[in-house]
């Protein structure tokens, strides 16, 4: 994890999405997912670029099975956006960096 992204778990999720009303994106990923590996540096770069404007979390689906089930996450990686503690958008799979950033800008 970089300084700009936070590990989110089944236990820390509620506290994380409650952080000072800031928009949040959580990447649901799996250690065996090759697309997740490809997206990791893109996500980390966006986290640095938008630090202070949006919170970035990463949730390992293999270690934290409750939240993927709750949010019906079936595609890895899935990028789930939250605002005011509610899911407002999601995108999944291999996404062009510019497309993911375009999605982010809708919420900052």
Distance CA 68, CA 18 (A): 18
Pick the more confident residue, 80 or 18: 80
- Per-residue pLDDT, averaged over 40-51, amounts to 95
Distance CA 70, CA 68 (A): 6
Distance CA 3, CA 88 (A): 25
Indicate the domain borders of the chain: 5-105
The catalytic residues are: 33, 36
Residue for token pair 């934290």: 64
The tens digit of pLDDT for each residue in 8-33 reads: 999 999 999 987 778 999 999 999 99
Model confidence at 1, pLDDT cuts 50, 70, 90, reads low
- At 3 the pLDDT is 74
pTM over the 0.75 mark: yes
* CATH (residue range 5-105): 3.40.30.10
- At 34 the pLDDT is 95
Q: Which of 72, 78, 33 lies closest to 57, judged by CA?
A: 78
Please provide the average confidence, as pLDDT, over all residues in the chain: 93
């Amino acid at each position: 994890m970089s300084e700009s992204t936070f590990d989110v778990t089944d236990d820390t999720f509620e506290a994380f999405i409650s952080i000072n009303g800031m928009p949040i994106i959580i990447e649901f990923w799996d250690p065996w997912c090759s697309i997740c590996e490809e997206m990791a540096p893109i996500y980390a770069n966006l986290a640095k670029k938008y630090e202070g404007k949006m919170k970035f979390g990463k949730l390992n689906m293999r270690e934290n099975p409750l939240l993927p089930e709750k949010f019906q996450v079936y595609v890895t990686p899935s990028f789930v956006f939250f605002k005011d503690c509610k899911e407002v958008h999601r995108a999944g799979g291999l996404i062009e960096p510019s497309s993911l950033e375009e999605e982010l800008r809708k919420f900052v």
